[in-house]
């Protein structure tokens, strides 16, 4: 199981913005597995919202060829989703350590804490 810190993710995202010549197929996909009410409160720009309970039914919507970062509030639910997806054959997955809470505290204070 690969963990990615909010600092590493921020750097990765900035590299794609600052270097448009990079292959966009290598840009990370961000999947937020929190509940709709949590998504409404706080989110990382560019993330896709697929609540944890819908992952199994929406797995075919996830591009397995791209690096994928799974996000939740603190990192526990996303860890479970990463484990589930790995058992289903997904490989290029990362769990966002500390979740949206760490993102707000360390990267973007404009993202609401809750």
Residues carrying an active site annotation:
72
User: Reduced to 3 states, what is the DSSP secondary structure of residue 13?
Assistant: helix
Between CA 49 and CA 63 the distance in angstroms is 14
Can you spell out the DSSP letters for 28-44?
PEEEE-S-HHHHHH---
C-beta separation of 47 from 30 below 8 A: yes
Region of 78 please: left (phi>0), alpha (psi -120 to 50) or beta.
alpha
């Amino acid at each position: 199981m690969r963990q990615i810190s909010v600092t590493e993710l921020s750097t990765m995202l900035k590299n794609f913005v600052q270097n448009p010549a990079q292959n966009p197929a290598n840009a990370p996909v961000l999947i937020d597995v929190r509940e709709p009410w949590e998504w409404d409160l706080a989110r990382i720009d560019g993330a896709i919202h697929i609540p944890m309970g819908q992952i199994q039914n929406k797995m075919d919507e996830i591009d397995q060829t791209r690096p994928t970062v799974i996000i939740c509030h603190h990192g526990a639910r996303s860890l479970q989703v990463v484990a589930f997806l790995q058992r289903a054959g997904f490989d290029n997955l990362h769990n966002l350590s500390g979740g949206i809470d760490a993102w707000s505290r360390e990267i973007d204070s404009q993202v609401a804490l809750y």
